[in-house]
Amino acid sequence: VGAVDQSLKLAHFSQRNDQVEIVAPGVFVISTGTSNKFLRLSGTSMATPHVSSVAAQIWSRFPHCTNTQIRNVLLQTARKLASNDDCDDNFGYGLVQAREAYDFLLENGCNS
């Protein structure tokens, strides 16, 4: 999982290789801190839980899908950020899109 900023630019600290499949917000993400305070944190450690929570939400609505099917739908419905339609070393397949993944599964089912 890679990280992008508010302008959808790749974060300077994000991975850049063929292992990046998808990106999510990872710069100045509001998170909880100690003493009932909120913090703005940056890192792929902010982007990764964003993607995993989208996967969990989608899977909870479509429990009959396999983990591989959920993953494939997230990749298929990601918002393309690269100049090509292929998986890119910077952005993978693009920015994770919860609503698009849900709508896709609702319309097409798990086997699409």
Q: What is the pLDDT of residue 84?
A: 80
- Long-range pairs, 80-83, Cβ under 8 A, ≥24: 81/4, 81/8, 81/23
Q: What is the pLDDT of residue 112?
A: 78
Can you tell me the distance from the alpha carbon of 84 to that of 82, in angstroms, rounded to the nearest whole number?
Answer: 5
Q: What is the pLDDT of residue 86?
A: 85
pLDDT tens readout for residues 60-73: 999 999 999 999 99
> Does the reported pTM lie above 0.85?
yes
* Low-confidence spans in the chain with pLDDT less than 70: none
Phi, psi of 20 (to 5 degrees): -75, 120
